[in-house]
Structure 1
Amino acid sequence: MAREQNVNVREDQVRYTRRIATLTGVAALGALAALAVLTNPAAGAPRGAAAVVAEDVPGLAVEEFGYPNADTILRDKGIVLKRGDGHITLAECGSETGLLQIMRRPEDAYPVCFKVTGDSGFLTMEIPSVYGVKGNAYDTTVDMTVGTEEKSFTVEPNQWTAVGETTDPEGREYMLVEIRTQK
């Protein structure tokens, strides 16, 4: 548990450092542009020293919280994982206890499992035809869509919860679009 908290603290420190570096880079780039205009008032468009300075500055790193290897996961598992905070991650079902398990159609499709860490988490995705979720020790909510309609389901801790088409009087197919967890 302490190791997991240390990892979470370290991840937060890395994110904070990246944000500071990004803001510092933006401020420095703005200052250089202003200096170039002030020292060359006739410069209507960036050229000369200002253009060289702009070309020498490395690109800004902006964390978008995109899911790593999302293209490979789409190809191999047929699911779209978009973005999250890193506290809900794809896992091999049966690899350990305490995983969230998602059941989807067709019936012969393999379940999709997620490991949850930290005090809270979120993950956005697109998993079509979801009809059941097995919860873990966390308070979990799943958001789903059918057509333009959105619906949220509270997942019972450590047991199966009917979601999507299994709760719909018309039996429509729902797409899982977000998981949110809280300890």
Structure 2
Amino acid sequence: MKTRASSQLPAVFARPPNPENERLVGLAPVFDAQDRLLVLGSFPGAASLQAAQYYAHPRNAFWPVMAALLGEPDLATRPYAERLQALRRGRVALWDAVAACRREGSLDTAIEAAEPSDLMDLVARLPQLRAIACNGALAHRQTLLALGDVALPVLRLPSTSPAHAGLSLADKIAAWRAGLAPYLVA
């Protein structure tokens, strides 16, 4: 068995083949009626779809960013169920703006035939919702298309994707903190 270079991903995170460019279906929303903040990604990457977990790619900064914002320093290293419980305590809901699409790989730029998530339905089920945070440009664009003139702040935050390497983790945390501070439960 050959060993992988440390810069390569473990086999569990390898890009699943999609030779016929088949339609991919995203993950279910994670929420309850008490949530005050809805974080929307664009569409789960290959690692997340394979693991059936939001932000499963080990280099995605989402969980380290949330760890800093929720004041739970070891959040990114906890089991997935415990990470979701931390979001519950922080009253943070999680979903994606695209429900299904065709895509080879994980890049947002490769998304084709995007089917929007039913954001209107989810927003209606969150009576205490105070803001929507979009993880990157595509999530923001898709959210505005789906919700139109919603009576809530719809914030565009820097993508936590490893493909968005223009900002350091510290810069991403600072930007997310500046945008979300009024909406997070301490």
TM-score with structure 1 length normalisation?
0.31
Q: Which has the higher contact order (CA 8 A, sep 6+)?
A: 2
Larger Cα Rg: Structure 1 or Structure 2?
Answer: 1
**Between Structure 1 and Structure 2, which shows a larger proportion of strand residues?**
1
